[in-house]
Structure 1
Amino acid sequence: MSMLHNSRELSVSDAARRGVAGLVADAEGGADLVVTRHHRPVAAVVGMDRLAELDRAESDLRDLALVLARAATDCGNRTSLDDVLDAFGHTRQSLAELEDTE
């Protein structure tokens, strides 16, 4: 598992023997635990810092995929904001006059 660094595999039985407190202590210490059943990874126990790091990486990858998709499909044509507003029956002035609902 390349996403998890410093990971250690343990079976479901070993995880049960270790107990939740033991698993949490390892995760707090920075260890990524991969729980396996019949030698297949079925779960992971990670600390909150590592989870936040994985969430940031996921967000960055989504942004990168969007940028790459836009770059690959960009034909160079641009539409002005005023043209878009006009297509929806608005102007900058009409938007400014809308009541703020928040």
Structure 2
Amino acid sequence: MSVSDAAQRGVAGLVADAEGGTDLVVTRHHRPVAAVVSMNRLAELDRAESDLRDLALVLARAATDNGNRAPLDEVLDAFGHTRESLAELDDHE
């Protein structure tokens, strides 16, 4: 739908279409510039984006995992801590 058509339709009309489940793409000079979607659809898209981000992280970790593991105490020591020193830390530090 062109910007001109969207303007003629009015905000109330665009919102009614979106609430009814119709996703609208608004174009300017035949190029998409905006979309009008319902809040349910937006939440769906946000969840999909989050899932894809998680999937990308899992795939990256699987592709780069060499199987080497370090014991927790060695990692803590490398950062100058022990299990006891962590237990003594204030939660806000």
Question: Do the two structures share a fold, i.e. TM-score over 0.5?
Answer: yes
Unaligned segments of structure 1, at least 5 residues: 1-9
Aligned-residue CA RMSD (Å): 1.2
Aligned sequence identity (%): 87
Residue in 1 that maps onto 2:28:
37
Residue in 2 that maps onto 1:15:
6
CA distance in 1, matches of 2:55, 2:92: 33
Does residue 85 of structure 1 match 2:76? yes
CA distance in 2, matches of 1:27, 1:99: 49
Please state how far the C-alpha of 1:42 moved relative to its aligned partner.
0.8
Please state how far the C-alpha of 1:101 moved relative to its aligned partner.
2.2
Among candidates 79, 82, 85, match of residue 94 of structure 1? 85
**Normalising by the residue count of structure 1, what TM-score does the alignment of the two structures yield?**
0.87
CA distance in 1, matches of 2:33, 2:92: 46
Residue in 2 that maps onto 1:52:
43
Higher helix content, 1 or 2: 2
Size of the aligned set, in residue pairs, is 93
